Amino acid sequence: MAWVLLGNKPFKFFMTGVIKFQNLTLGYDRMPAVQELEAEVREGSLTAIVGPNGAGKSTLLKGVTGAISPLEGGVLIDGFHQDEIAYLPQQSQIDGSFPICVIDLVAMGLWRELGAFGRLTRKMRAKVDAALAAVGLTGFEKRTIGSLSGGQMQRALFARLLLQDARLVLLDEPFAAIDAKTMADLIDVIKRWHSEGRTILAVLHDYATVGTHFPFTMMLARELVAHGPTAQVLTSENQFRARQMCEACAATPHTCGKSAA
């Protein structure tokens, strides 16, 4: 078993949970975007991260990947190495004008096998073809990514995730700006990952989708509002409180925090 500790908290042994947020504060230029988060995500869970705009949802995923370092506290990850984390950023962060074709984009999911200058073997190509078929992109191999629709691009990114074969999957707004058919197909992929025992954290905005497909939910408003079974988290009271807390963060003078709600 491997452990990954991100942050300045002392090492603590615990028996349950794959991710533990310990008094975690994350931010930019010393300005907190996530504050004093105490929560635990169990291994094999399918969890949505929700909250108003500016609630710190995407920042939290970046903290789990190690892309940003905690200002305070830490993230304790149990049971696997950092390279066993697969991360899907928001599609707006991906340069669609980059001159690369679909097969090369998807094959990046095999980077641990390929290395920096490796070439696809016949066995690897078969894996890429299977991943493309799984997301409905057979025949798109030579298309440039700039020619893809939003839904097709997201399918290609999911195919890349499939090849990473990660135990922890982080998804930042995976259903933004895609059509209903693509969304339904990608939800099926997520559910398959869940059935295989993988741990999935997904930033989402549509509460109806969360309530239908995600058993657990973490609601943020820079601070933790609620975390647990989705039906207990997505209450109108919690949603109203989260909005109040985020509006207080944007106000002058700055009164961010639970005391504002």
Do both 94 and 215 map to the same domain?
no
The single-letter DSSP state of residue 229 is: E
Q: At what angle do helices 150-164 and 122-134 cross, to 10 degrees?
A: 130
- Given 118, 149, 166, the domain boundary residue is 166
Q: At what angle do helices 180-195 and 150-164 cross, to 10 degrees?
A: 10
Token pair 């895609």: residue = 178
Do both 189 and 214 map to the same domain?
yes
Do both 159 and 241 map to the same domain?
no
Instruction: Cite the DSSP H helix spans in 28-149.
Output: 57-65, 102-107, 111-114, 122-134
Do both 60 and 174 map to the same domain?
yes
CA 206 to CA 223: how far, in whole Å? Answer: 20
Do both 96 and 125 map to the same domain?
yes
The count of domains in the chain is 2
Torsion from C-alpha of 186, 190, 195, 199, nearest 10 degrees:
170
- Given 150, 166, 182, the domain boundary residue is 166
Report yes or no: 40 and 196 within 8 Å, Cβ to Cβ.
no
Structure tokens at 168: 């922890």
Do both 189 and 205 map to the same domain?
yes
The range of the structural domain enclosing residue 131 comes to 88-166
Token pair 């207080």: residue = 248
Do both 73 and 171 map to the same domain?
yes
Do both 142 and 17 map to the same domain?
no
Which CATH number goes with the domain that contains 208? 3.40.50.300
Residue-wise pLDDT tens digits, 225-253 = 999 999 999 999 999 999 999 887 765 54
Do both 175 and 161 map to the same domain?
no
Per-residue pLDDT of the chain (261 residues; tens, 9 = 90+): 333 444 444 334 344 457 999 999 999 887 899 999 999 999 999 999 999 999 999 999 999 999 999 999 999 988 767 778 999 999 877 777 788 999 999 999 998 777 655 678 889 999 999 999 999 999 999 999 999 999 999 999 999 999 999 999 999 999 998 999 999 999 999 999 999 999 999 999 999 999 999 999 999 999 999 999 999 999 999 999 999 998 877 655 445 555 444
Do both 55 and 177 map to the same domain?
yes
Closest-CA residue to 51 (of 237, 261, 224): 224
- Given 166, 183, 215, the domain boundary residue is 166
How crowded is residue 117: how many other Cβ atoms within 10 Å of its Cβ? 5
Do both 149 and 224 map to the same domain?
no
Do both 71 and 126 map to the same domain?
no
Structure tokens at 191: 């559910």
